[in-house]
Amino acid sequence: MANRFARFRHFPVKRLISKSTRSVAGQVLVFQVALVVLLVACGVFALILQSERDTSAEATRRSTAVAQTFAHSPGVLAALRTPDPSKILQPLTEAARRAAGVDFIVVMDTEGIRYTHPLPDRIGKRFVGEIGPSLAGKVYVESVNGPLGREVQATVPIENADSEVVALVSAGMKVKNVESQLDRQLPIILGAGAGALALSTGVTALVGRRLRRQTHSLAPDEMTLMHEHHDTVLHSVREGVLIVAADGRLILANDEARRLLELPPDVEGRPVSKLPGLDPETKALLASGREATDEVHLAGERLLAVNQRPTHREGGPEGTVVTLRDSTELQAVTGRAEVARERLRLLYDAGLRIGTTLDVLRTADELARVPVPRFADFVTVDLADAVLHGEEPAPTATDMRRAAVCGIQDDHPLSEQGRLFDYLPSTPQARGYGSGRSQLVSDLPAATGWRVQDPERATAIIDYGIHSLITAPIQARGVVLGVANFWRARHHERFNEEDLSLAEELVARAAISIDNARRYTREHALAVTLQRSLLPQAMPEQNALDIAYRYLPAQSGVGGDWFDVIPLPGSRVALAVGDVVGHGLHAAATMGRLRTAVHNFSSLDLPPDELLSHLDDLVGSIDQHEAAESAAGVVGATCLYGIYDPVTRRYVMARAGHLAPALVQPDGTVTFPDVPAGPPLGLGGMPFQTAELCLAEGTQLVLYTDGLIEDRSRDLDVGMELLRDALTGHPGRAPEETCQDVLASLLPGRPKDDVALLVARTRELPPDRIAEWDVPPDPAAVAGMRDAVSQRLEAWDLSEFGFTMELILSELVTNAIRYGAGPIHVRLIRDRTLICEVADGSSTSPHLRYAATTDEGGRGLFLVSQMAERWGTRYTPQGKVIWAEQALPAALRQPVPTPADADTPPDEEAADPKTPT
């Protein structure tokens, strides 16, 4: 505020001199003298000229001047456009005539009809004189005998904006009046001019001296600015202003200062030490003259912020300028604003920190942690027990479980996390849960209803110093999920109604997140249940492969990755791995449908390429059907399907958009076989191709989904190399250990996508468990085959199955000889079951018939189906194979040696499995 007065301090003498020529006094003096001199000079000069000309010339000049002046006067054209121009122009011409000293001024139209005339009865009559030259745009002067006598008149055209003549004006004088007028005016003009010049010069000089003393030779703009600032300071600003002289007297006090300090009207001139009503410290500050910045002083019931600055800087007079500002309300408003800012900051933090996951307990814990210690000393969150399991909560506050506890100290007496409550109706928790409205208990020691729940614990809570409580129901989408309890102890004041609204806002922000987590928990539980029911519950019993597997759901929930191990006839085993794009129930359900379809197609004993073709057709039809109904087709699915034969150690596989498997050789080296890549399932149009590998015993097949190697932070090639590194250099490692090491190397944390991993170590069926014969196409060879099979069963200690197997073999070989084509080959396999296979070169499949009593044939396959555990047909590139299985008792199911037992010598007696017919 002191700076506002710096520009109004006394100016130096040098500055006064330099500014005197443009001061107010100087400008007034110069203007008046110039005006008087100009007027007198013009009058004298005009009289001299007039005296030099004759009377007619003088009249001509004056008439022409008056006519031209009136013709170009503002408003003339506008008056001519009115319906009655005479009404407007007549007063104007008469006033101009008297002012100009002419005898007449006549305005007429282009036809010469008068609009004005000194004699009103002449208005509307034709003008006396020549108007032709004036209509041509010229000024025409003539002498005529007019209504007033001998006259000298000048006619001037009146033109519009387009330079068109729209009217004429004529001014003139009687010749006899010209000379007499000059004689009368000349002495008057000369005397008046001389007197005015002398008087104005003297008066102006006196006024100028007076103004220079009073204005300090200030220019007009500086005086205006000083006045505006002075008025603003004294009457407009909301700050009190005091100017104190060097001797301690008060020179000036504005309106606000008088109000703040309650000063009397005649306070100017008094010493500041004797001002009434001022605090001694305030008086001492004003009298000292020292600088002060925002010092707070008491003035009655007000708190004033005082600033004081000296005025003698830059050559000004000694003294001080004091500004006063009432900060009483500002202090209160600042406190309330700080509280509001803190609450907004708390709500902002709640929006960021609550609901970061779809976990109910985690969200409840976040709700409990955010308000501590800024809003409450302790926070407990109680949720309906059903909410924690994703179910709908009960209508009453029973079966409430404490989901989260947080406080400024850990030794509090509040109930621990996980405890189950059945709140009584008198408690604020039960009332808030039932009504859906928050409950405020501002004085816990005086309240009684909450003590009934647990009197002993209530006493401990009060003794601990907890004095108030707010219970806010956690309500989302019209359903109350639980309650949040905010407790305050000695570190805070008691809760009030304003705190109630803040607690409700905090809980409202968390309620939606808790409800979303509850719904997610329910959906996740359903999806997990569905997926667990659709994935293999246990590995089937078989001797071809040692199996280990892992399935890890995605971080966001279950998905559509799956795997399967399917035993096939002839001791073969099918391995399948697939992936359905997406997560949730739809992906899990689609996965189950595809896995079921693979099981069904594998029961037909189809080659891998044909099975994938059937699966591709199925997915295409599913997409078309579901896209038409609900727009929720499979969207994307891949599959890898392969069949391993432990007899030949052949592994045949095909893939539909899936990643190729990894092969870990017995020596620990890793390769990725080149399997022809087919399109993903459902696209159609492209055939699938198979790849056939001959695997050494102990080779590990590693089948996986893309979630194992793909990640946002690395490329696919990087993931493949990581997988290679995790598998390389571990000869003889068990499949279970392989699974553990691969997941530890490639997935250190929880995966963001589903991961299915299947590791299968190959076994070879020992030669002593296989017997093979070539059968000539002669019905007589059937008897020899029965004897050979009987001998082999005796060598395997399975003579008790000889009759049934001989009967089955006889029917199958007889059908091959009678209806098939050569060559005919018989193979007997002892595994977990006793398997008989008859192969021939025909692709015609036999059909089971039910013969009538009069039929001579048609009963062979019926007998086979009745005596065998199961039977069927599979096709090979060379023809077909008819097979039948007989179940063996558990005591006779000899396990196949693992690769680690390969050093065990085979049975000497069964060294040569082939026996000629």
Please write the tens of the pLDDT for every residue from 322-341: 888 776 665 555 556 666 67
Output 322 or 58, whichever has higher pLDDT.
Answer: 322
Give the Cα-Cα-Cα angle 445, 449, 451 (nearest 5 degrees): 60
Per mean pLDDT, which of 357-361, 468-472, 587-591, 594-598 is the most reliable? Answer: 468-472
- Which is it for strands 559-567 and 662-664: parallel, antiparallel or unpaired? unpaired
Whether 617 has a pLDDT exceeding 80, the answer reads yes
pLDDT number for residue 611: 93
pLDDT tens across 301-325, in order? 677 888 888 877 655 568 888 888 7
The confidence score (pLDDT) of residue 44 equals 66
What is the spatial distance between Cα 108 and Cα 157, in angstroms, rounded to a whole number? 10
> Residue 914 CA to chain centroid, in angstroms?
76
- Token pair 């039948």 in the structure block, residue: 884
Which three-class secondary structure string do you get for 527-545?
HHHHHHHHCCCCCCCCCCE
User: Which of 262, 268, 295 shows the shortest CA–CA distance to 281?
Assistant: 295
Q: What is the pLDDT of residue 893?
A: 64
What's the confidence (pLDDT) of residue 799? 81
Q: Residue 320: which of 296, 359, 291 has the closest Cα?
A: 291
Most confident range (mean pLDDT) of 173-177, 304-308, 733-737 is 733-737
Confidence of residue 253 (pLDDT cuts 50, 70, 90): confident
pLDDT at 382: 93
pLDDT of residue 850: 56
Strands 650-656 and 677-678: parallel
Task: Look at 156 and 333; give whichever has higher pLDDT.
Answer: 156
Has residue 742 got a pLDDT over 70?
yes
- What's the angle, vertex CA 65, arms to CA 63 and CA 71, rounded to 5? 100
**Among 380, 426, 19, 367, CA closest to 220:** 19
Q: Among residues of the chain, what percentage have pLDDT more than 70?
A: 80
CA atoms of 220 and 358, how far apart (whole Å)? 76
CB proximity list for 548: less than 8 A, separation 6 or greater: 734, 735, 736, 738, 739, 758, 759
In this prediction, residue 897 has a pLDDT band, given cuts at 50, 70 and 90, of: low
3-state secondary structure of 497: helix
User: What was the pLDDT predicted at 750?
Assistant: 67
Half-sphere exposure (Cβ direction) of 721: Cα atoms closer than 13 Å:
5
pLDDT at 531: 66
How far, in Å, CA of 599 to CA of 705, rounded? 19
pLDDT tier, 747 (very low <50, low <70, confident <90, very high otherwise)? confident
Give bridge partners of residue 692 from the DSSP assignment: 652
| Three-point CA angle 16, 17, 18, nearest 5° | 95
More confident residue, 124 or 218: 124
* Alpha-carbon span 792 to 798, nearest angstrom: 8
Q: Is the pLDDT of residue 211 over 80?
A: no
| Separation between Cα atoms, residue 556 and residue 553, nearest integer Å | 8
CA 833/CA 830 separation, integer angstroms: 6
Instruction: Give the whole-angstrom CA distance, residue 770 versus residue 431.
Output: 79
The answer to whether 825 and 774 are in contact (CB under 8 A) is yes
Side chain identity at residue 660, one-letter code? A
The structure tokens listed for 610 are: 């044909």
- pLDDT at residue 906 greater than cutoff 50: no
CA-nearest of 642, 634, 495, 500 to 565 is 642
pLDDT tops 50 at residue 99? yes
How large is the average pLDDT for residues 145-155? 77
**If DSSP codes are grouped into helix, strand and coil, which group holds residue 846?**
coil
Question: What b/e readout covers 811-828, taking b as 16+ CB neighbours within 10 angstroms?
Answer: bbbbbbbeebeeebbbbb
* Residues 400-457: tens digit of each pLDDT: 899 999 998 888 999 999 899 899 999 999 999 989 899 999 899 988 889 888 899 9
Given this model, what pLDDT does residue 356 score? 84
d(CA 248, CA 343): 49
pLDDT band at 266 (very low <50, low <70, confident <90, very high): confident
The 10 Å CB-count burial string (b at 16+, else e) for 511-547 is bbbbbbbbebbbbbeebeebbeebbbeeeeebbbbbb
pLDDT band per the 50, 70, 90 thresholds, residue 178: low
| Choice among 22-36, 163-177, 268-282 with the minimum mean pLDDT | 22-36
What is the spatial distance between Cα 545 and Cα 542, in angstroms, rounded to a whole number? 7
Q: Residues 768-813: pLDDT tens digits?
A: 888 889 888 888 888 888 888 888 888 888 888 878 888 888 888 8
CB-based burial of residue 563 (10 Å sphere; 0-12 exposed, 13-18 middle, 19+ buried)? Answer: buried
Q: Where are the alpha helices (DSSP H) in 549-644?
A: 585-603, 608-629
Average pLDDT over residues 134-153: 80
Q: Is this structure's pTM higher than 0.85?
A: no
Task: Please say if the pLDDT value at position 765 is more than 60.
Answer: yes
Q: What is the mean pLDDT of residues 155-170?
A: 87
Q: Kindly state the average pLDDT of the residues 247-259.
A: 80
pLDDT tens sequence across 664-713? 999 999 999 999 988 888 887 788 999 999 999 999 999 999 888 887 77
What pLDDT is attached to residue 760?
Answer: 94
Alpha carbon distance 623, 886 (integer Å) = 41
Which of the four pLDDT bands, split at 50, 70 and 90, describes residue 574? very high
Q: Which of 337-351, 356-370, 383-397 has the lowest mean pLDDT?
A: 337-351
Give the residue with greater pLDDT, 497 vs 59.
Answer: 497
- Residue 261 token pair: 């300090």
Find out whether the peptide bond into 823 is cis, omega within 30 degrees of 0: yes
Considering just the CA atoms, what is the radius of gyration of the chain in Å?
59
Report the distance separating Cα 771 and Cα 495, nearest Å: 90
Point out which residues pair with 663 in neighbouring strands.
671, 701
Q: Which of 74-78, 394-398, 443-447 has the highest mean pLDDT?
A: 443-447
The mean pLDDT of the chain is 80
Mean pLDDT of 115-133: 86
Note the pLDDT of residue 98.
85
Task: Please check the confidence at residue 490 and state whether its pLDDT lies above 90.
Answer: no
What number of CA atoms fall less than 13 Å from residue 873's CA on the CB side?
Answer: 14
pLDDT-above-90 percentage for the chain? 17
